[in-house]
A = this chain, B = another copy of it.
Amino acid sequence: MYTIGIDLGGTNIVAAVVNEKYEIVAKAKTPTAMPRTPEEIFDDIAKVCRESMEEAGITIADIDSVGMGTPGTVNSQGIIEFANNLGFDHVPARQMLADRLGIDEVYIENDANCAALGEAYAGSGNGAKDFVAVTLGTGVGSGVIVEGKLVTGVNNAGGECGHMVIVVDGEECTCGRKGCWEAYASATALINQTKRAMQEYPDSVMHELAEKEGKVSGRTAFDAMRHGDIAGIKVVDQYVKYIACGLINIVNALQPEVICVGGGICNEGETLMRPLRRYVEAERYSVYSKIQTKIVKASLGNDAGIIGAAILKQAK
């Protein structure tokens, strides 16, 4: 049997046929082309599902279940209660997809949670049953898996580790709290930290680097560090400490088998991962335990969400 995994994004809709080894065997894609009505969007979702089945040479009779990852908040009935960038307000996604595809087994979940599932089962988690995925992007997304199942909590809103405060009364966060991990460890936060350091260090090579690139980016401080620039070194070291702080919080609370870290910043590879592991090793509560949480880089990229969506039936 096969399953279908769908990634509904603000830019593209991607559907893929996934086999029992969690491998993508066929994939189809179409632009989301916002703004459109939910009906139009779901017609296209069904269309790319059919295209992916056609490419795989199978029919809906070969499909055990369909799963979809979406931005926003999904309730336990598979209704997308709210998705800002799709303009969705209480869209009955599960039903709309079931009707269009003629299959009952349809599962809808937040896209960050799907990505966590994909990494846990088929990516950097290597099948780990207790797993947390953290994505350092515009914000800090996360998905928590315990005993192979997503932890979504009593209201399907769980897994928001990015909104754990690490600095009481600290930087304003988009969520309304002050001092959230996201406000210190996201790519956005790194850029702000870089800009502040540039003001403080007018001689830093970061000014040149930013001018060349046309903007201050998540790479500016890392590149400066590689030039031996003091300001760059300081920014990177402090940023890595902030990431580590949240990771250690997660380790102490849950002691997962693996935490994977993803997002554009992770293109720095071991430049980021090595000091990150060193800080986590030094500070975790379980410092004397023989078995320790592994901190690894996410490995599936954009496919994580599609594969995770395809697994939803078994992991919800």
Q: Is the CB of A289 within 8 A of B157?
A: yes
Within the complex, the shortest CB–CB distance from A72 to chain B, in Å, comes to: 11
Interface size of A by CB at 8 A reads 52
A287 nearest CB neighbor, chain B only: B176
Q: Is the CB of B158 within 8 A of A254?
A: yes
Among the 9-residue stretches A7-15, A18-26, A106-114, A242-250, the one with 4 or more Cβ atoms under 8 Å from chain B is A242-250
Q: Is the CB of A248 within 8 A of B177?
A: yes
Copies of this protein in the assembly total 2
Residues in B neighbouring A304, C-beta threshold 8 A: none
Task: Summarize A's interface: helix, strand, loop or mixed.
Answer: loop
Within the complex, the shortest CB–CB distance from A250 to chain B, in Å, comes to: 8
Given contacts A146-B147, A147-B147, contact A256 B165 (CB under 8 A): no
Residues in B neighbouring A254, C-beta threshold 8 A: 144, 151, 153, 158-159
Beta-carbon contacts of A67-92 to B below 8 Å, as 1s and 0s?
00000010000000010000000000
Q: Is the CB of A249 within 8 A of B285?
A: no
Question: 8 tightest CB-CB pairs across the interface, nearest first?
Answer: A153-B255, A158-B255, A164-B249, A157-B286, A155-B291, A155-B289, A160-B252, A154-B257
5 contacts between A and B (CB under 8 A): A130-B151, A157-B286, A160-B253, A166-B166, A168-B245
